[in-house]
Amino acid sequence: MTISDHTDADASDDLGPDTADIAVEADGSSVARRHLGRDTIIGGVAAAVALGAQELAAGVTRTLPSLMSGAATWIIDAAPAGMAEWAIRTLEKHTRSVLIVGVATVLVVTAMFTAELPRWIRRTLFVAVGVLGALATAHGETETFWPSLANGLLAAAVGIGTDTWFRRPRTARYDGSRRAFLGTVGMLGAVAVAAAVGGRQLLERARKSIGRRDEVVLPEAVSTVAPVTPAQDFVIEGLEPIITPTERHFRVDIDALNPPEIDLSDWTLTIGGMVDREVTLTYADLLDMDHVEKYATLACVSNKVGGRLVGNSVWLGVPLPEILELAGVDPRAEQVAAHAVDGFSTGFPLAAAYDRDTLLAIGHNGEPLTYEHGFPARLIVPGYYGFVSAAKWIQRIELTTWDDHDSYWVQMGWAKHAPVETQSRIDAPRDGLSFAAGPRMVAGVAWAPFLQISKVEVKIDDTDWVEAELSEPLSRHAWRQWRIPWVAVPGQHTISVRATDGNGVTQTSELRPAVPSGATGYHTIRVEVE
Please indicate, yes or no, whether residues 385 and 466 belong to a single structural domain of this protein: no
The domain in which residue 446 lies consists of: 423-529
Same domain membership, residue 255 and residue 117: no
Same domain for 165 and 248, yes or no, is: no
Q: What is the pLDDT of residue 140?
A: 65
pLDDT of residue 79: 67
Whether 272 and 364 map to the same domain: the answer is yes
Write down the pLDDT at residue 305. 96
Higher model confidence: residue 344 or residue 174? 344
CATH of the domain at 360: 3.90.420.10
* Inter-helix orientation angle 67-78/31-61, to 10°: 90
- CA atoms of 424 and 316, how far apart (whole Å): 26
Q: How many domains does the chain have?
A: 3
Given a cut of 50, whether residue 19 has pLDDT beyond it is no
What's the whole-number mean pLDDT along residues 27-32?
43
Q: Tell me, yes or no, whether 153 and 291 share the same domain.
A: no
Name the pLDDT band for 8 (thresholds 50, 70, 90).
Answer: very low
In this prediction, residue 15 carries a pLDDT of 31
Residues 289 and 246 in one domain: yes
pLDDT attached to residue 30? 45
The whole-angstrom separation of Cα 165 and Cα 447 is 60
Q: Quote the strand ranges of 210-330, DSSP E.
A: 268-273, 279-282, 292-299, 310-319
Look at residue 249 and tell me if it is in a domain: yes
Q: Which long-range contacts (CB under 8 A, 24 or more apart) does 370-373 make?
A: 370/213, 370/246, 371/207, 371/208, 371/211, 371/213, 371/259, 372/251, 372/259, 373/246, 373/249, 373/251
- Domain final residue, candidates 178, 210, 242: 210
Q: For residue 475, what are the contacts with CB-CB under 8 A and spacing of at least 6? A: 225, 294, 295, 296, 357
Region 255-270: mean pLDDT is 79
Residues 350 and 458 in one domain: no
Q: Are 330 and 408 members of one domain?
A: yes
User: Rounded to an integer, what distance in angstroms lies between the CA atom of residue 213 and that of residue 364?
Assistant: 13
Total count of residues recorded for the chain: 530
Full-model pTM: 0.70
Same domain for 107 and 53: yes
Domain contains 66: yes
Final residue of a domain: which of 355, 385, 412? 412
* Cα radius of gyration (the chain): 29
Residue 32 has pLDDT above 60, yes or no: no
Rounded Cα gap, residues 167 and 39, in angstroms: 8
**What percentage of residues in the chain have a pLDDT greater than 70?**
85
Answer whether residue 218 is part of any domain.
no
In a domain? residue 356 = yes
As a 3-state breakdown, the chain gives helix, strand, coil percent values, each rounded to 5, of 35, 25, 40
How confident is the model at residue 176, as a pLDDT? 61
Domain stop point among 160, 182, 210: 210
- Say yes or no: 513 and 377 in one domain: no
Contact between 338 and 400 under an 8 Å Cβ cutoff? The reply is no
The pLDDT value recorded for residue 83 is 66
CATH number at residue 486: 2.60.40.650
In terms of domains, do 401 and 427 share one?
A: no
Order across the sheet with 279-282: list the strands: 279-282, 268-273, 394-400, 335-340, 345-349
> In Å, what is the CA distance from 487 to each residue of 57, 440, 442, 493?
60, 6, 10, 12
Q: What is the pLDDT of residue 102?
A: 84
Tell me what the pLDDT averaged over the chain comes to: 86
- 86-116 pLDDT per residue, tens: 666 566 556 667 778 888 898 999 989 888 8
Residue 4 included in any domain: no
The answer to the question of residue 417 being in a domain is no
| Residue 224 in domain | no
pLDDT at 200: 78
Any residues with CB less than 8 A from the CB of 343 and at least 6 apart, and which?
Answer: 139, 254, 408
Residues 123, 185, single domain; the answer is yes
